[in-house]
Amino acid sequence: MSIRYSQDFKDSLVKLHHYNFCLAMNLLNHSSETRTLTYLGLDQASREMMLDQIDFG
């Protein structure tokens, strides 16, 4: 059975991804990181942009 989630829920998971990606994968019942990243709309450009914002100080 496939469950469709609202965009707000997906956006919340994107924020959650910042803190705990494994939990987001588990909540979505995904077996691969690639599937979760695709589902959440986090393509290579988005990931690079997010990484650029991290201060490794």
Q: Is the pTM of this model over 0.75?
A: no
**3-class SS at 22?**
helix
Q: Which parts of 7-56 are beta strand (E)?
A: none
pLDDT digits (tens, 9 = 90+) for 14-54: 665 555 777 878 888 989 988 888 887 777 887 788 778 87
CB 41 within 8 A of CB 14: yes
